[in-house]
Structure 1
């Protein structure tokens, strides 16, 4: 069945977000979420040094569904298909929204390409079908807005 993602803005103030995975894809997701003041925690057997040095809470443990309690959103950045499917099933059962990195077919939500300046955010989404086109259009919008507001 074709997915149909609704673009929304969600208040994450005071909410906890879990990233399962501790490599570079998890780090990139962490950096994006930190731009929005997210309270992010990391769970992975092995956590890269950049994440450890970022100041976020991390747990160097194997994934188990008991870790899902208390989270609004979960991002799976494991690059392990069997584990991703388990995380998706566990999140759905626990009522936690889940995003599986680079697998929109398994996601309940996707993250758009975002440009943010102050309290203005512009998000470009392709319904999870063409990430690079979303990024290209986001960059065009950023260029337009930068020129418009810096030349006035």
Structure 2
């Protein structure tokens, strides 16, 4: 059973540490910046690939420390992502993260993770996260592609209209929820999106 609690994090409001400078680090960083272009990330790595350097060029919210990891690197961090294949280092950082109550993701090591980076479908303001509980990123990727193709481009217009409608509603919270639920039921029932 998948007991993960899905949340959406305002990455621009927290500090993230990414340890590693290779292709996996680039994959993680791309996932972050595709979803949160203003995310604040500190990269610590002994070396960065040319592709990673190209990706971060001009991004002022990314800080680089080209050197080995230092335990002080976790200070002030809210989230840590490890993209190293160094099991000893990963274990050391996991212990530090637990001690300091910092959420940790270790690439390709579900047992060491506090959270996973799922596949994400995005159409305008609609964002759908897909999790397989770390069991099959390939299935998540295929579902992402399916949903991306299935959702109409006009979905963002519908979301904008629903936001305006919600703001115009009068009454208490419960009344607004009932009216909006009925309205969305009508929209989805007619296939209007």
Higher helix fraction (1 or 2): 2
Structure 1 residues 1-152: aligned runs within 5 Å: 4-35=3-34, 36-37=36-37, 38-53=39-54, 54-55=56-57, 56-146=62-152
Change in 2 beyond 3 A, CA 1:147/1:10? closer
* More strand per residue: 1
Instruction: Supply the RMSD in Å over aligned alpha carbons.
Output: 2.2
SS of 1:108's equivalent? coil
Which whole-Å deviations, capped at 9, do the CAs of 1:107-147 have from their partners, x for residues lacking one? 00111101122221111101111111111111111110147
Query: How many angstroms apart in 2 are the aligned matches of 1:3 and 1:61?
Result: 38
Which structure would you say has the larger RCO, counting Cα contacts within 8 Å and 6 or more residues apart? 1
CA distance in 1, matches of 2:106, 2:4: 14
The answer (yes or no) to whether the contact 1:126–1:134 under 8 Å persists in 2 is yes
User: Any unmatched runs of 5+ in structure 2?
Assistant: 156-192
**SS of aligned partner of 2:13:** coil
Q: How many Å apart are 1:86 and its aligned residue?
A: 1.2
Instruction: Note the C-alpha offset of 1:47.
Output: 1.4
Equivalent-residue separation in structure 1 for 2:113 and 2:100 (angstroms): 15
Q: Find the aligned partners of 1:140 and 1:68 in 2 and give their Cα distance.
A: 38
* Count of equivalent residues: 151
TM-score (norm 1): 0.89
Distance in 1 (CA, whole Å) between partners of 2:151 and 2:145 is 10
Return the alpha-carbon distance in structure 2 between the equivalents of residues 100 and 143 of structure 1. Answer: 30
The DSSP-based 3-state class of the residue aligned with 2:88 is helix
**Cα separation, partners in 2 of 1:3 and 1:66, compared to 1, 3 Å:** farther
CA distance in 2, matches of 1:17, 1:93: 17
Q: Supply the distance in 1 between the matched residues of 2:17 and 2:108 (Cα, whole angstroms).
A: 17
TM-score (norm 2): 0.71
Which sections of structure 1, spanning at least 5 residues, go unmatched?
Answer: none
CA radius of gyration, larger in: 2
